[in-house]
Amino acid sequence: MTHDEFRKASKSSPEIAQRKLFDEYFSYVYTIVFSRLRSCAGREDIEECVGDIFADVYMCYDEQKELSGDLSGFIGMVARRKSSDVYRKLTRNSFGRISIDDEEAEQYEAPDNTEDTIEKKELRSKLINCIERLGEPDSTIILQKYFFMRSSREIAEHVSLTPEAVRTRCSRALKKLREKLTEMNISL
């Protein structure tokens, strides 16, 4: 949906315009929020954040500004900022201090695979950051294809491309992603 289309639809019926915007960009926003919050939030928190993002988009959108083109840049910016705020809020106190007596310490020993788990989380975080740096729509295509296991046809509907274009962009994005990961000395 472009700025002009949204502006015209809002003049006739703001509710219908908001619904169309939500339907078109839900997957895009959900992908951004999920990639940022999946390590610290439950499904309800993620869905609530998505709803808050659309509320912010509706409230902050200025119909008087002369803008043209797609709304995805504006919506993506709001989604990234809001999901980062929620991430900071959820993880702010997660590293608080706990006083443990020597007798209780045995109960809280770290499992044997703690180091592996931490390394996997760090690797996952680096991978997501590299994917996000690919830009749109490449990052959305990669996340939808490999994290949500969606087909090229399904992805094409969400990013307004043909399935062939999605496959082409996906292969090019994977090549770029491999190069970025190689530069960081990461091999999968």
Whether 126 and 184 have beta carbons less than 8 Å apart is answered as: yes
**DSSP assignment of 69-83:** SBSHHHHHHHHHHHH
Domain 1-92 identical in fold to domain 114-188: no
pLDDT at 180 over 60: yes
Count Cα atoms within 13 angstroms, Cβ side, for 109. 7
Tell me which fold the domain 114-188 belongs to: Arc Repressor Mutant, subunit A (1.10.10)
pLDDT at 165 over 70: yes
Question: What does CATH list as the number for 1-92?
Answer: 1.10.1740.10
- Give the model's pLDDT for residue 93: 61
**Mean pLDDT highest for which of 120-124, 149-153, 180-184?**
149-153
CB-neighbour burial class of residue 53 (10 A; exposed 0-12, middle 13-18, buried 19+): buried
Q: Which of 21-35, 106-120, 159-173 has the lowest mean pLDDT?
A: 106-120
**Domain residue limits, the chain:** 1-92, 114-188
**DSSP assignment of 80-145:** HHHHHHHHHHHHTTTT------HHHHGGGPPPTTHHHHHHHHHHHHHHHHHHHTT-TTHHHHHHHH
Which among 46, 184, 32, 39 is positioned nearest to 120, based on CA atoms? Answer: 39
Per-residue pLDDT tens digits for 30-66: 988 988 888 888 888 888 999 999 888 888 766 556 5
Confidence band (pLDDT; 50, 70, 90) for 69?
low
Q: Say how far apart CA 132 and CA 183 lie, in whole Å.
A: 16
Per-residue pLDDT tens digits for 75-134: 888 899 999 888 888 887 654 444 444 454 455 455 555 666 777 777 788 888 888 888
The C-alpha torsion from 31 through 34 and 36 to 41, rounded to 10°, is 170
More confident call, 138 vs 10: 138
